Amino acid sequence: MNTQDNSDVVEMRSISKGFNGVSVLKDVDFQVRKGEVHALAGGNGAGKSTLMKILQGVYHADAGDILISGKPVAINSIQDAKAAGIGMVFQEFSLVPSLTVAQNIFLAAEPLGRGLLIDDRTAVRKSRELFAEMEVDVDPRAEVSRLGTAYWQLTEIAKALSQNARVLIMDEPTASLARHESEALFELIDRLKKRGISIIYISHRMDEVYRLADRITILRDGRRLLTEPLTNVTPEQIVEGIVGKKIEGQLAYRARDHIIHDGAPLLEVRGLTAGRRVRDVSFTLRPGEILGLAGLMGSGRTELARALFGIDRVDDGEILIRGKKSSLASPQQAIDAGIALVPEDRRAQGLVLDHSVRENLLLPLLGKIRRGPLLDQGAGKELSSSLISKFAVKVAHPNRPVRLLSGGNQQKVVIAKWLGNDPDILILDEPTAGVDIGTKSEILDMIRDLASAGKAVIVISSEYPELLAVSDRVLVLKDGSVLRDIPRSEIADEEYLQLAVQGV
C-alpha cells in the first residue's frame, strides 16, 4: 500500500438519485484513493449499481457532486466518464466477438495511418505494449470469439487502460472465471494498484474482498452504512451490515410436516458431473420436500438445474428418479420423467413473448388437448382459463400477448405452464427475480402448497431471506461442488447462511 498517497482520485459527495419518485440513493458519500482497491458491498437493491452507473455517466444524479482528482466535473455521458478516466470492466462483456482483440481494444478509437485507412499494425503493436505492461500473455490478433472468458476480461481491462483509465470498476469479475484464472486476475489487480490505478471492486465474495481490498464501503437501502479499512472489520460485521435486521412477515419460514421421510426418495443424484461447473454433486430429494440451492454467482446452481433438465450433457454420475436410473439427454426426456424447470430468464427461456398468454400456457400441454390429429380449441380454452384463475394471473384476455404482462404475471404464466403437466419434481431458478413484493409472496405460497401436495421442489435463489422462507433443507454449492447440506432447523438466520455460502 506504499503507492497510496491518500489523495482522492474520485470523490462523490452527497449523491442522491430517485426513479419515478422512489428514492434509490440518499446522500451517499464515496471516495476512492489513488492506487486503492475499494470494495463496494450491499444487498440487492442497496444502490451499488445505481451509484456506479452515475459514476459511469449512464445515470445523472439528482443531487450531489463528483470530483475527479479534487476538481469538480460534470459527467453527463459515458464519453464524459471515459474522458475523466473512469473505466468499466463489464459483467456481461461488451466486446464484439467477431473482431480481434486489438480491433476491440481500439474500437471507435482506431489509429489511422496515411489517409483515412485504419492502421491495424499500430493497433496490434499498441495492444502488445498494453498486455506487456499488464504482464499477461494475450495474442492481439486472435479473434475474441475463440478465446475463453478470462481473456475477454483481460481485453476489457486493456481497452480501459488504452483510454487512460485511472479508476477501473469491476463488477463480480470472478463470477465466470475458474479458480486459477481468478488468481491470475488478483495478481493483475495487485500490479495495476502498484501503478497507481484505483479499482472499485464489487463482489459478494468475502475471501476476495479480504484478499484484495484496502477499504470497504457498505451501502444499505440507498445510504452509506460505513467506509472502513478492512483491517478494522470482521466478515461477520460485513455480513450483518449487508443483511441488516429486517424481518419480513411473509418471508418467515413455516414448518410443514408433509415431508415423507420413509420410502424411496423421488430424486436421487449421485456424483453428477456436467461441464466445468457441476462437479461430483450428490443429494436426495423426498416427496413433499423443498430443497434450496444456495451459492454465489458462478457456483454452478443454474448449471445443476440445466443438467437435471437434460439441457446440458451429463459427463458422469447418475440420476435416479423414484429409485430408477434415468438418462435425461433432452428436456423432453426430463419432462417425460416428471421434471419441470422454471428457467432463470423468463423472457429469453420461458416465454414466446409475442405469443398470447393462452398459447404460452398450452405449449407444453398440446399433447393433452388433442382430438385426433387436431387440437381441441375448446379444451385448450378451458385448460388455459383454469390455469389463469388457479394461479391468479392478471390479464385482460388470454389472447393478449404475454409481453404486455407485468414481470410478476409473466412469471406466473411460466410457472402455470409447467404445472398444467402435473410434474412430480419442480425446479425453479430465481422464481421471484424482478417481481413485485406482492407477487413474490404469492409465488412463495405457491411453492409451499406444491410441496404440501407431495411434490418435490428445488428452489434456486440469490435472495437468502426467500430461500430461508421456503426451504426445508439448503444445499450450499461452491465452485460446482456441494459445500454443505444443511437442514433448515440448523440455520439460525440469514447471517448463518451468508457465512455458510462464503465458506467461513
Give the interface with other proteins as residue ranges (CB under 8 A): 309, 311, 330-332, 334-335, 341, 343, 348-355, 359, 362-364, 366-367, 370, 373-375, 377, 381-382, 385, 388-389, 391-399, 417, 442, 445-446
Here the contacts of 490-494 (C-beta below 8 Å, separation 24 or greater) are: 493/468, 494/243, 494/464, 494/465, 494/468
Rounded Cα distance, 88 and 95, in Å: 12
The three cell numbers locating residue 383: 385448460
The H or E element spanning position 227 is strand 223-229
Q: Which residues pair with 292 in a beta bridge?
A: 459, 474
Based on CB atoms, which residue is closest to other proteins, 152 or 309? 309
CB of 424 to other proteins, least distance (A): 15
| Shortest spacing between CB 442 and other proteins, in angstroms | 6
393 or 459, CB closer to other proteins?
393
Closest CB to other proteins among residues 9, 351: 351
Q: How far is CA 411 from CA 129, 217, 346, 347, 442, in A?
A: 49, 34, 7, 9, 11
In angstroms, what is the minimal distance from the CB of 455 to other proteins?
A: 17
Smallest separation (angstroms) from other proteins to the CB of 314: 17
d(CA 62, CA 54): 10
Contacting residues for 130 by C-beta, under 8 A, at least 6 apart: 105, 158, 161, 162
Cα–Cα distance, 401 to 273 (Å, whole number) = 39
Three-state SS for 404-467 is HCCHHHHHHHHHHHHHCCCCCEEEEECCCCCCCHHHHHHHHHHHHHHHHCCCEEEEECCCHHHH
Nearer to other proteins, 170 or 444 (CB): 444
- Burial (CB < 10 A; 0-12, 13-18, 19+), residue 229, is exposed
Judged by beta carbon, residue 52 or residue 251, the one nearer other proteins is 251
Least Cβ distance, residue 392 to other proteins (angstroms): 5
State the minimum distance, in angstroms, from the CB of residue 371 to other proteins: 10
- Report the residue number, 229 or 378, with the smaller CB distance to other proteins: 378
Q: How far is the CB of 283 from other proteins (least distance, A)?
A: 23
The residue whose grid cell reads 405452464 is 417
Confirm if 242 and 259 have CB atoms less than 8 A apart: no
Q: Which is nearer to other proteins, 152 or 391 (CB)?
A: 391
- Report, in Å, the least distance between residue 331 CB and other proteins: 4
Q: Smallest distance from the beta carbon of 252 to other proteins, in angstroms?
A: 19
The residue (of 47 and 343) whose beta carbon lies closer to other proteins is 343
**Residue (10 or 393) nearer to other proteins, CB:** 393
| Distance (Å, whole) CA 288 – CA 424 | 10
Q: Tell me whether residue 165 or residue 311 sits nearer to other proteins (CB atom).
A: 311
Distance set, CA 268 to CA 124, 285, 319, 321, 460 (Å): 53, 6, 6, 6, 18
> What is the three-class DSSP state of 395?
coil
Closer residue to other proteins (CB): 246 or 347: 347
197: β partners: none
CA distance 241 to 257: 34
Contacts of 272 (CB under 8 A, 6+ apart): 278, 280, 281, 282, 304, 307, 314, 316, 317, 318, 319
Q: Are 485 and 296 in contact (CB under 8 A)?
A: no
Strands (E) across 53-162 are located at 63-68, 71-73, 86-89
Identity of the amino acid at 326? S
Q: Least CB distance from residue 92 to other proteins, whole Å? A: 17
Nearest distance from residue 394's CB to other proteins, in Å? 5
